[in-house]
Amino acid sequence: MHDEIEKTEKPEKTENPNLPESAAPTENDARLILLYEIGRILASAETMNAAAPQILEAICRSLHFQLGELWCLGKNENVLRCENDWHFPSPDVEKFLAESRRFEFAKGEGLPGQVWEKGEPVLIKNYAAANFPRQPLAIESELRGAFAFPILLGKKTLGVFNFFSREILQPDELLLQMFVAVSNHVGQFIKREKIESNLRE
């Protein structure tokens, strides 16, 4: 498995060698660019279903996550299901996603369910100590860190973005603040989408 993983595409940091060191993009610059890109995606998309894969890809590429998922509430709003995903090409990750699509999470269950219950981001550094039913799948796929944040409209959770990394993740307060902004932007987009849908009916 190790040989196979080494041949798959992995997220890489890109640098412009022509830029002087003082002009090289900083981490904050990259995050501002990501926020701008997400805003651009939402401005041009007509539906969340169309915007979601682009948002997942933008976040994964910018922050070097191996894959991202969007978990949405079903019509009865009792469980979360994986509705969209994006990942860097990798057979083991594709297997992880195929199995993940079979899962449903009630409030408080698994990482998406915990985020739904708390209404705030959750980061997992140690699967063994966490409420994480997909632990065996993640370990098999060499996904060592997991992070998720809610899509909020006021205090109501509309869905959950979930990301996985090959690396163990560390808490980052500024990054959490950025995802609060993303959460609010996406929540407002979904609200507008529902209003427009109701007007067309």
pLDDT of residue 74: 74
CATH class of 28-196: alpha beta
Mean pLDDT score, 57-82: 92
**CA 159 to chain CA centroid, nearest Å:** 11
Two tokens, residue 8: 């798959």
What's the sign of the alpha-carbon dihedral 142, 55, 81, 131?
positive
| 109 contacts 62 by C-beta, under 8 angstroms | no
Q: How far apart are CA 82 and CA 55, in angstroms?
A: 15
Share of the chain above pLDDT 70, in %: 86
Mean pLDDT score, 127-150: 89
AA identity, residue 170: Q
Mean pLDDT score, 98-126: 93
Two tokens, residue 167: 């690396």
- What does the radius of gyration of the chain's CA atoms come to, in whole angstroms? 17
How does the average pLDDT of the chain come out, rounded?
85
Q: 196 Cβ partners below 8 Å, 6+ apart?
A: none
Q: Name the residue ranges covered by the structural domains of the chain.
A: 28-196
Mean pLDDT score, 38-43: 96
Q: How far apart are CA 25 and CA 42, in angstroms?
A: 24
pLDDT of residue 189: 95
Question: DSSP character for 1?
Answer: -
Q: How far apart are CA 88 and CA 68, in angstroms?
A: 10
Identify which has the larger pLDDT, 103 or 169. Answer: 103
Q: Quick one: pLDDT band at residue 11, thresholds 50, 70, 90?
A: low
pLDDT of residue 25: 60
pLDDT of residue 40: 96
pLDDT of residue 12: 52
Share of the chain above pLDDT 90, in %: 66
Mean pLDDT score, 126-130: 75
Mean pLDDT score, 61-75: 92
| 46 contacts 146 by C-beta, under 8 angstroms | no
Q: Write out pLDDT tens, residues 154-197.
A: 889 999 999 999 998 888 888 888 999 999 999 999 999 888 77
Q: Write out pLDDT tens, residues 135-145.
A: 999 999 999 99
Q: Write out pLDDT tens, residues 15-36.
A: 444 434 444 567 778 889 999 9
